[in-house]
Amino acid sequence: MSERNASRVTEFILTGFPGLHPEYYGLVSALLFFVYLMTVIANATVLLLFATNRCLHKPVYYIILNVSVCDLLFSTTTLPKIISRYWFKSGSISFNGCFVQMFFVHYCGALNSFIFFLMAFDRYCAICHPLKYTIVFTKIRILILILAAWIMAFVIPLMLIIRAYPLPYCGPNMITQCFCDHIGITVLACTDRTPYGLAAFTSAVIILLVPLAFIVFSYCSILMEARKISGWKKCQKSLSTCSTQLIIISLYYLPRCFVYLASNVGISFSADVRIVIVMLYSLVPPMVNPLIYCLRAKDIRECLWKQFYRIVPPKL
């Protein structure tokens, strides 16, 4: 027992992109820093607009606010470490620190999925059941639903941590990824990971496929309802209110589903290609989501311009 404890892994090494030549480390770290900076500025702007404009205190914008908070949390959890990996050549992360990062990675992923479920439910009720919308989606109820999403998202990654943390890690400590996640950690355990892989697959089904099934159902129902609306302008208005959410949801789900399906049907990628895909669907949406809000959501766009003109008054 003492020999096993003596050889227990005390830290992990994040390899990042295994095939990247050292001469490009500075460029990659600068690019990742730019992504992080833009993500913080963009999502902080959404939070500022929400805090200073009461006209945004509506159910749909409460949901968007939580997407921004979740995006900020995920980017702050993952990006600083991988930036330091290339900027300062510091790829090591402590054993406990890796599990903390793993928790927040999966927590933010689950939370985003549940919030997108609420986003689709909001649009479904607003368009398919407009007379009941103001009754169902009161401020108190939407806050309760959002709180429930945060609590439910907390439980699933906590269960993964409880099962993965006690495993014996006595061999290699290189994680072929840019951040710690369940698969990257448990494959390093000195034991059969099949039961733990099954738990991870089950949680992925609950987190991704169940909300996605309802989202597909809700937007199909919205399209069917839009066909019944008389008048092109009313129909266009109904669809435009959904387009913003649909773009954001697609950015989150489609790449993830592609990666999971590809791995299950035997399509293999090199480690670098797989990591690039994971980084794209993990880091691009948090950066571009606020831009989509500002371009597509009329209320947010108007509040943004109002805030801009307060800082830079228009010339007469």
How much is the average pLDDT of 5-15? Answer: 77
Q: Is 271 a residue whose pLDDT tops 70?
A: yes
Contact partners, residue 241, CB within 8 Å, separation at least 6: 123, 126, 127
Residue, of 201 and 178, whose pLDDT is higher: 178
Q: Is 123 a residue whose pLDDT tops 80?
A: yes
User: For the whole model, what pTM was predicted?
Assistant: 0.86
225: left (phi over 0), alpha (psi -120 to 50) or beta: alpha
| All domains in the chain, ordered by first residue | 7-311 (1.20.1070.10)
Q: State residue 6's pLDDT score.
A: 44
Task: Name the pLDDT band for 4 (thresholds 50, 70, 90).
Answer: very low
Contact partners, residue 58, CB within 8 Å, separation at least 6: 299
Over pLDDT 70: what percentage of the chain?
Answer: 88
The interaxial angle of helices 59-87 and 298-311, nearest 10 deg, is 70
Task: Please write the tens of the pLDDT for every residue from 177-189.
Answer: 889 988 888 888 8
The strand pairing partners of 248, in sequence order, are none
How much is the average pLDDT of 115-124? Answer: 89
Over pLDDT 90: what percentage of the chain?
Answer: 26
Task: Name the pLDDT band for 1 (thresholds 50, 70, 90).
Answer: very low
How much is the average pLDDT of 289-298? Answer: 77
Task: Name the pLDDT band for 149 (thresholds 50, 70, 90).
Answer: very high
Q: What is the H or E stretch that residue 14 is in?
A: strand 11-14
Q: State residue 80's pLDDT score.
A: 93
- Which segment, 34-48, 114-128, 171-185, 282-296, is predicted with the most confidence on average? 34-48
Q: State residue 227's pLDDT score.
A: 73
Q: Is 308 a residue whose pLDDT tops 80?
A: no
Task: Name the pLDDT band for 315 (thresholds 50, 70, 90).
Answer: low
Measured in residues, the chain has a length of 316
Q: Is 135 a residue whose pLDDT tops 70?
A: yes
How much is the average pLDDT of 246-264? Answer: 75
How much is the average pLDDT of 300-309? Answer: 78
Q: State residue 264's pLDDT score.
A: 61
CA 189, 193, 199, 203 torsion-angle sign: positive
Task: Name the pLDDT band for 237 (thresholds 50, 70, 90).
Answer: low
Quote the mean pLDDT of the chain.
83
Q: State residue 129's pLDDT score.
A: 86
For residue 43 the two structure tokens come to 């999502």
Alpha-carbon distance values, 26 to 81, 83, 248, 304, 305 (Å): 14, 9, 31, 34, 36
